[in-house]
Amino acid sequence: MTKPMAEPKIEPYEGPAGGWGSAGSLAEILTREQIPVSGAALLLKQNKPDGFMCTSCAWSKPAKPNTFEYCENGAKATVWEQTAKRVGPDFFARHSVTELLTWTDYALEEKGRLTHPLRYDPASDRYMPVTWEDAFAEIGRELRALDPNAVVYYTSGRASLETSYMYALMARMHGTNNLPDSSNMCHEPTSVGLKSSIGSPVGTTILEDFESTDLILFFGQNVGSNAPRMLHPLQEARKRRVPIITFNPLRERGLERFTNPQSPTEMLTRTSTEISTQYHQVKAGGDLAAITGMCKVLIAADREAMEVGRPRILDVDFIAEHTHGFREFVAFCDSQGWAEIEARSGLTREALEAAATVYGRARSVIAVYGMGLTQHRRGTEGVQMLVNLMLLRGNVGRPGAGLCPVRGHSNVQGQRTVGITEKPELAPLDKLKELYGFEPPREKGHNTVEACEGIISRDVKAFIGLGGNFVRAVPDTVRMEEAWRALRLSVQISTKLNRSHLVHGAVSYILPCLGRIEVDVQASGPQAVSMEDSTSCFHGSRGQTKPVSDGVRSEPWIVAEMAKALLPPNPKVDWDGWVGDYARVRDAIEATYPDVFHDLNGRMFQPGGLHKPLAARDRKWDTETGKANFTVPGGLEADPDMRSNRRDVLDLITLRSNDQFNTTVYGYDDRFRGVKGTRMVLFMNVNDVERLGLSDGETVDLSAEADDEFVREVSGLRVIQYNIPEGNVGGYYPELNALIPLWHYDAQAMTPAAKAIPVRIRKGTPIAVAD
Ligand SMILES: Nc1nc2c(c(=O)[nH]1)N[C@H]1C(S)=C(S)[C@@H](COP(=O)(O)OP(=O)(O)OC[C@H]3O[C@@H](n4cnc5c(=O)[nH]c(N)nc54)[C@H](O)[C@@H]3O)O[C@H]1N2
Ligand SMILES: Nc1nc2c(c(=O)[nH]1)N[C@H]1C(S)=C(S)[C@@H](COP(=O)(O)OP(=O)(O)OC[C@H]3O[C@@H](n4cnc5c(=O)[nH]c(N)nc54)[C@H](O)[C@@H]3O)O[C@H]1N2
Ligand SMILES: [Mo]
């Protein structure tokens, strides 16, 4: 089904982020998902201490929430999950898998919530209903027949701490550390880079820091679409005249202006707050060079201050007492020329001086960053370079200052905290052995890219997905889909139908689960779950609505049943008891990590949540040197393998629209970027349009520029002349994932480099329907 959308329209958006546009967009989706207006009352329970935690982004949940502690996109996520529409057995009787493969991501998920466990039937090419008992019996049998290291246990970042703990335990009891998760595609450069630089794999900023900061830096994070509730602390900071300096190739609306849709005064008077005070349109992958330039300016200014006896610009006491590698870092900055810095960053020396000057004057600085920094071949080095800038003025480990990676999925950070990791050194293996009396596997497991490689090489034979849409989210989607079909077993635990269900293994199951917003009743009564937000706070969440169907089960129940079908009985692991009362899983989590989860059951509903201890906040550096490390990158070029002959090769940035959550497409409008009715667009600089002999509105095809034997192409994209640096083009994820070679990833974290993909453009054949 290719549902024709309204005629695509491209026109600049003049309004602020938030505001009336946001209210209108929400009303539309409430109507479309057939949610009665009274159902909107549910939104009042969103991110409240006695309510449910939003299923959208991972932004902090304040201790004193607003009456409406939700945003346009959080509300869309709630509405999308709580839709009145269902895809039950009758739907699958009507549609073959081959037919469904022609549907768009939007069309598949929009059909509603999954209601029954389903097994693929090759004879009819359909998913057929199956009982839970039969499903687990076969899945257990299939898994037991395989080498545990031939099985991948993937997690998308939404599952609760309780489910994640049980799932990781199941995988390790089976005998593998193959526990990749969505953070491998996301903030892994944070986990690797911050850990080696400051000894903490997570950010050091908490919500209160925004109240006392003097400057906020923004590198590659699109707050207006992807973490809109964060606009509230930003607006408060701006009202205190705190400057915000942004580095982003695109002029994102949420980083320019914001009207709080929940403030009647602002809505009625149509006032908005200017967000960024300086906006630097850095080239994709140019942040390393830009930050190096800023560091050069600060180092030079400090030398000058020293010479004339003025107060120093660098925090020399902090550097002497707390850091390592300062001299080498200064030598590196001295060796970098301005011509190279300007060429690589796309920014002038004056612009970088202006940013560095404000930075040099601010007492306490927060550095916010997102995928624009991490999804690069040098993503980890980019994170570490930002740390260097912060260390120069002691901006780590004091109030009002710190690093603030904005995480993606609502519990992606928490999953890592409770053992979802392919890296054995990050899991408490000895403790698990002590508690549960089994020998945990010690060898490294597959991360996301390695899982893909294993699927391509046929070494991986089974894939279990706890949420997510793996084949759509990963790079090289065409190659991956082909390889995927050779899997012996694929099992997806999901709320909604997506492409990862349709591209399936020989034996394939869809196991439908409750969403977080639904009441989850088990033996001891209604259950609560917990998660960790982007500022390392644990929160409880209680379901509020009636389950979508009697056929669905909770995630902990599904994991427990799978574990029981797969593993020999172990008297020390009471799967049934855990499912009967999730508080007992939390006890187990606390027993495994006593320092981190002290009294989780008692404190998870306290307003503001339970803070995880963060050593780097107290200037305790859990690194190899025992200090905070300055790090010298291997070079300033965005892509270490950049070939010399790059004429006509452009760097493609894959983007999220304001109408999607990852591979979940809510609709075809990207209000802030002025795109209506289509996602098949290519944002281009006017000079590139002219140089390549193209014109605005024309249809083009893209192909990846890669030194291997594979052809990677996407056709039918409409050129939009856009304010984007020359040499960069932009388009939407996941439609363009077929263009990312699997090997195009960050060297240290193996995160796919989705923000600078070398591509060539060709004139295309115009098509009738744009999507
Ligand atoms: N509504 C909504 N919310 C979401 C999501 C969603 O899809 N929809 N996804 C969730 C997830 S899983 C994640 S990880 C986060 C993602 O949230 P973000 O981290 O904001 O990720 P993106 O939207 O991919 O891109 C971020 C920004 O980086 C800029 N950028 C691209 N290349 C560069 C570069 O080289 N340098 C710099 N400085 N900037 C660059 C882009 O223009 C864009 O504005 O959001 C989470 N929240
Ligand atoms: N080119 C490019 N590729 C990217 C990115 C990019 O910026 N550019 N971003 C990357 C990033 S940051 C991420 S995080 C990944 C995202 O990768 P994933 O996390 O794998 O994908 P999602 O799209 O978030 O998964 C959506 C599906 O999750 C299921 N789901 C939703 N809610 C629940 C729930 O409560 N429980 C369960 N069990 N299932 C649920 C639904 O069936 C839905 O179809 O994609 C990555 N891929
Ligand atoms: Mo993410």
Q: Give 754 Cα–ligand 1 centroid separation in angstroms.
A: 10
What percent of the chain clears pLDDT 70, i.e. is strictly above it?
94
CA distances from 370 to 204, 403, 408, 524, 535 (A): 15, 11, 9, 41, 14
Number of domains in the chain: 4
* 312 plus 392 within the same structural domain: yes
pLDDT (0 to 100) of residue 28: 74
State yes or no: pLDDT of 264 exceeds 70. no
- On the question of pLDDT at 548 being above 50, the answer is yes
3-state secondary structure of 464: strand
- Is the CB of residue 662 below 6 angstroms from any atom belonging to ligand 1? yes
* Residue 598 to residue 592: CA distance in whole angstroms: 10
- Name which of 138-152, 272-286, 522-536, 717-731 the model is least confident about: 272-286
Task: Please report, for the domain that includes residue 369, its CATH number.
Answer: 3.40.228.10
Among 612, 622, 571, CA closest to 590: 612
Judgement on whether residues 168 and 235 belong to the same structural domain of the protein: no
The count of other CB atoms within 10 Å of the CB of residue 237 is 22
Same-domain check for residues 455 and 561: yes
Last residue of a domain, one of 607, 627, 655: 607
Task: Please tell me whether residues 700 and 760 are part of one structural domain.
Answer: yes
Query: Using one digit for the tens of pLDDT, what is the confidence trace for 482-536?
Result: 999 999 999 999 999 999 999 999 999 999 999 999 999 999 999 999 999 988 9
Residue nearest ligand 2's atom 38 by CA: 467
Inter-CA distances, 697 with 8, 714, 717, Å: 11, 17, 9
Pocket test of ligand 2: the residue of 54, 118, 185 to mutate, having most ligand atoms within 8 Å of its CB, is 185
As a whole number of angstroms, the distance between CA 625 and CA 323 comes to: 9
* Nearest-angstrom CA–CA distance, 57 and 127: 31
Residue range(s) defining the domain that contains residue 68: 10-77
Does 72 share its domain with 98? Answer: no
DSSP, residue by residue, 671-709:
GGGTEES-S-EEEE-HHHHHHTT--TT-EEEEEE--SSS
Residue 638 CA: which ligand 1 atom is closest?
35
Ligand 2 pocket residue status of 730, Cβ below 6 Å = no
HEC letters along 238-268: HHCCCCEEEECCCCCHHHCEEECCCCHHHHH
In this predicted model, what pLDDT tens digit does every residue of 403-460 receive, in sequence order?
Answer: 999 999 999 999 999 999 999 999 999 999 999 999 999 999 999 999 999 999 999 9
Q: How confident is the model at residue 770 (pLDDT cuts 50, 70, 90)?
A: very low
CB of 73 within 6 A of ligand 1: the answer is yes
Residue 182 in contact with ligand 2 by CB distance below 6 A? yes
220, pLDDT greater than 80: yes
- Cβ atoms 649, 401 nearer than 8 A: no
For residue 19, tell me if it sits in a domain.
Answer: yes
238 with 298, same domain: the answer is: yes
Does residue 754 carry a pLDDT above 80? yes
- pLDDT exceeds cutoff 50 at 311: yes
In the structure, what pLDDT confidence band is assigned to residue 71 with cuts at 50, 70 and 90?
confident
Global pTM? 0.95
- Is residue 430 included in any domain, yes or no? no
What distance in Å separates the CA atoms of residue 631 and residue 388, rounded to the nearest whole number? 7
Answer yes or no: is pLDDT of 14 > 80. Answer: no
- Length reported for the chain: 771
The four Cα atoms 379, 384, 389, 394 give a dihedral, to 10 degrees, of: 150
Summarised one tens digit per residue, pLDDT across range 115-137 is 999 999 999 999 999 999 999 99
154 shares a domain with 46: no
| Residue 155 and residue 45 in one domain | no
Residues 259 and 287 in one domain: yes
Q: Residue 710: inside a domain, yes or no?
A: yes
Name 439's Cβ contacts closer than 8 Å, sequence gap at least 6.
Answer: 433
Q: What is the pLDDT of residues 457-471, one digit of tens each?
A: 999 999 999 999 999
Strand order in the sheet with 610-611: 528-532, 537-542, 610-611
The pLDDT confidence band at residue 6, using thresholds 50, 70 and 90, is: low
196 in any annotated domain: no
270: left (phi over 0), alpha (psi -120 to 50) or beta: left
Report angle CA 285, 286, 287 to the nearest 5 degrees: 95
Give the span between the Cα atoms of 560 and 365, in whole angstroms.
Answer: 45
Neighbour count for residue 424 (Cβ, 10 Å): 15
Q: Is the CB of 372 under 6 A from ligand 2?
A: no
Predicted confidence at residue 1, as pLDDT, reads 35
- Domain-located, residue 360: yes
The pLDDT tens digits of the residues spanning 183-205 come to 999 999 999 999 999 999 999 99
Q: What was the pLDDT predicted at 642?
A: 63
Tell which of 31, 52, 77 closes a domain: 77
Q: Which of 127, 156, 161, 509 to mutate to test the pocket of ligand 2 (most atoms within 8 A of CB)?
A: 156
Q: Which atom of ligand 2 is nearest to the CA of 412?
A: 14
My answer on whether 277 and 381 are in the same domain is yes
* 626 within some domain: no
Among 163, 495, 500, 751, the mutation site with the greatest number of ligand 2 atoms within 8 A of its Cβ is 495
Query: DSSP characters for 202-239?
Result: S----TTHHHH-SEEEEES--HHHHSGGGHHHHHHHHH
pLDDT computed for residue 645 by the predictor: 56
| Nearest ligand for residue 410 CA | 1
In a domain, 204, yes or no: no
**Ligand found nearest the CA of 667:** 1
Do the beta carbons of residue 220 and residue 755 sit within 8 Å?
Answer: yes
Query: Is 60 exceeded by the pLDDT of residue 66?
Result: yes
Whether the pLDDT of residue 385 is over 70: the answer is: yes
Q: Does any ligand 1 atom lie closer than 6 A to the CB of residue 276?
A: no
What per-residue confidence (pLDDT) applies to 65?
Answer: 79
Residue type present at position 142: E
69 and 115 in a single domain? The answer is: no
**Residue 3 confidence class, pLDDT cut points 50, 70, 90:** very low
477 lines ligand 2 (CB under 6 A): no
What confidence score (pLDDT) does residue 273 get? 74
The bridge status of strand 17-18 relative to strand 675-676 is unpaired
Residue 636's H or E segment, with its range, is: none
Q: How many helices (H) and strands (E) are present in the chain, helices listed first?
A: 30, 33
Residues 581 and 460 in one domain: yes
How high is the pLDDT of residue 271?
Answer: 66
**Nearest ligand 1 atom to alpha carbon 733:** 24
Each residue's pLDDT tens digit, 619-668: 999 999 999 999 999 999 888 776 545 778 999 999 999 999 999 999 99
Closest atom, ligand 2, to C-alpha of 492: 38
Average pLDDT, the chain: 92
202 falls within a domain: no
pLDDT classification of 21: cutoffs 50, 70, 90:
low
